[in-house]
Amino acid sequence: MMEFTPHSSPSNTGWIEVVAGCMFSGKTEELIRRLRRANIARLNVKVFKPKIDIRYSESEIVSHSEQSLPSILVDSPNEILTLSEEAQVVGIDEAQFFSNDLVEVCNKLANQGKRVIVAGLDQDYRGIPFEPMPQLLAIAEYITKTLAICVVCGNPADKTQRKVVSTERVLVGAADSYEARCRKCHYIPE
Ligand code: ZN
C-alpha cells in the first residue's frame, strides 16, 4: 500500500480524502487503516455505509480480508450529515451506492472542519466511471488509487471483471461473480 500524504494534518480546516479502485484492490482495508489511526488519536470517528451493502455485516464495514469496523447503515447521504454533528472524522464506504447528493454532503462536512474519508468503486463492470466517484475525486484534496492484481496476467489491475451475464449496474452480495483484471484482460460481457 502506498503511503498516505497528510502525516501532519492541516489545521483549523476540514478536507476530503478519496480512496478509489476496483474490487479486491484493498479500498476498504485502506479506509479501515486510516479510521483506526484516527481512533487511536482519540478523535471522534463516525463510519457510514449504504443500506444496500449488507453482504458481510449489518453494522460493520468489512474488507475482503475480513478486517472490520463498526459502522452506521444509512439510506441517503443527508442522514450522514445529521448523524455526524459530533464527529471530527467521517468515514464513508461503498460511495458508489450513494446518490450524487453525497458530493454536496462531503463538501458540507469538510466545510464544517471535519476530515472526510470516502472509499468506493471508481468504475463499474464495463469500466465506466461510477457516480458519484468522479465528482468526489474532483473535489477531494487527497486521492489514493488502489490497484488489484490481474488474475489473468498478474499486471496491476484497475478494472472489475463481471463473470456472470447481467446488465444490472450493481449486483449486490455477489463478490464471487467478479474478479480484478488489467486493461488488457478486461472485457465487457454481452
Ligand atoms: Zn491482465
Interatomic CA distance for residues 69 and 43, integer angstroms: 15
Predicted local distance difference test score (pLDDT) of residue 160: 96
Residue type, position 101, single letter: D
153 CA to centre of ligand 1 in angstroms: 4
Reading the chain (190 residues) residue by residue, the pLDDT tens digits are 445 555 556 678 999 999 999 999 999 999 999 999 999 999 999 999 999 755 555 666 676 666 778 899 999 999 999 999 999 999 999 999 999 999 999 999 999 999 999 999 999 999 999 999 999 999 999 999 999 999 999 999 999 999 888 888 777 666 788 999 999 999 998 7
Q: Is residue 117 part of a domain?
A: yes
186 CA to centre of ligand 1 in angstroms: 7
Interatomic CA distance for residues 12 and 110, integer angstroms: 11
127 CA to centre of ligand 1 in angstroms: 14
Point out the residues that are catalytic.
94
Q: Is residue 2 part of a domain?
A: no
Interatomic CA distance for residues 17 and 7, integer angstroms: 13
* Phi (first) and psi of residue 28, to 5 degrees: -70, -35
The domain that holds 141 is classified in CATH as 3.40.50.300
79 CA to centre of ligand 1 in angstroms: 40
162 CA to centre of ligand 1 in angstroms: 14
Q: Is residue 159 part of a domain?
A: no
Predicted local distance difference test score (pLDDT) of residue 54: 57
Q: Is residue 107 part of a domain?
A: yes
C-alpha cell at 55: 453482504
For cell 488489484, the residue is 148
CA–centroid distance for 105 within its chain: 15
175 CA to centre of ligand 1 in angstroms: 19
Burial 109-141 (b: 16+ CB within 10 A, else e): bbeeebbbbbbbbbbbbebeebbbbebbbeebb
Predicted local distance difference test score (pLDDT) of residue 190: 75
Q: Is residue 68 part of a domain?
A: yes
Interatomic CA distance for residues 158 and 156, integer angstroms: 7
Q: Is residue 10 part of a domain?
A: no
CA–centroid distance for 130 within its chain: 12
Q: Is residue 139 part of a domain?
A: yes
Q: Which domain holds residue 92?
A: 15-146
Interatomic CA distance for residues 179 and 140, integer angstroms: 28
Q: Cis (ω within 30 of 0) for the bond into 132?
A: yes
On whether the CB atoms of residues 37 and 22 are closer than 8 A, the answer is: no
In 3D, which of 104, 97, 100 has the Cα closest to residue 81?
104
Q: Is residue 111 part of a domain?
A: yes
> pTM for the whole thing?
0.89
Angle at 173 (CA atoms; ends 171, 178), nearest 5 degrees:
65
What is the total count of domains within the chain?
1
